[in-house]
Amino acid sequence: MMKPVGVLALQGDFARHMDSLKRLRCPRKLIRWPEDLETCAGLILPGGESTTFVNLLGKTGLKKAICDFAEKSPVMGTCAGLIILAGEIVNDNMETLGLIDIRVERNAYGRQVDSFTDTVHVPMFEDKPVFEGVFIRAPRIHAYGGDVMSLGRHGQDVVMARNRRILVCTFHPELTSDTRVHRYFVEEMAGKTDS
């Protein structure tokens, strides 16, 4: 029996990630406590408010649990999820999980009213190497380490990247009907789907 992909459900748009996994017919599970991770093949950290996320991770014990989980299993983070996974934030001293060697800037494109949708170029999607990127108070990746691969760009900005077990997006793939980013995470990293 396939293990589910977990979606962190402390706050943020976790329901939309669950919908994307449902469209892929991937087993899925809401994660609210450390023990919820025990049966998961992978974990998704959704968008939301990163400061609130960090506080809740500490209060629930999930901060250490996610770091331990990521030693053997893949984790995907979108928007605030990316910030939480980053090694360094250039405009904030918030403590992150430090699971991917990237330097990021919070709210890099401005306030909520400055949110936008635009084309993201993802060359690994060979048949159609573009993706609709929804950027909501999005972070910007300023730099990344040698073990990090750029997977997608918006203009000159890297907006999708990964290392061995961590996949991050500055945009919100769950806010479109296009499931290719989630499919990539499930099939290429978690390795669990029946479709």
Q: Give the Cβ contact number of residue 147 at 10 Å.
A: 11
Three-state secondary-structure class, residue 65 = helix
Q: How confident is the model at residue 161 (pLDDT cuts 50, 70, 90)?
A: very high
pLDDT at 60 over 50: yes
The verdict on residue 126 lying in a domain is yes
Counting Cα atoms < 13 Å in the Cβ hemisphere of 21 gives 26
End-to-end CA distance of the chain: 14
* Active site amino acids: 79, 172, 174
138 exposed, middle or buried (CB, 10 Å; 0-12, 13-18, 19+)?
A: buried
Q: What rounded mean pLDDT belongs to the chain? A: 94
Q: Which domain holds residue 21?
A: 5-190
The verdict on residue 14 lying in a domain is yes
Q: Give the Cβ contact number of residue 80 at 10 Å.
A: 26
Q: How confident is the model at residue 61 (pLDDT cuts 50, 70, 90)?
A: very high
Backbone angles phi, psi at 128, to 5 degrees: -150, 90
- So what's the pLDDT on residue 115? 87
pLDDT at 1 over 60: no
pLDDT at 180 over 80: yes
d(CA 105, CA 85): 13
CATH code of the domain containing 157: 3.40.50.880
pLDDT at 193 over 70: no
The answer to whether 37 touches 153, Cβ cutoff 8 Å, is: no
Q: How confident is the model at residue 195 (pLDDT cuts 50, 70, 90)?
A: very low
The tens digit of pLDDT for each residue in 96-148 reads: 999 999 999 998 887 766 789 999 999 999 999 999 999 999 999 999 999 99
pLDDT at 159 over 90: yes
| Number of independent structural domains in the chain | 1
The verdict on residue 195 lying in a domain is no
- So what's the pLDDT on residue 92? 85
Stretch 72-83: mean pLDDT: 97
The verdict on residue 72 lying in a domain is yes
- So what's the pLDDT on residue 2? 78
- So what's the pLDDT on residue 113? 61
The verdict on residue 68 lying in a domain is yes
Whether the predicted model's global pTM rises above the 0.75 cut: yes
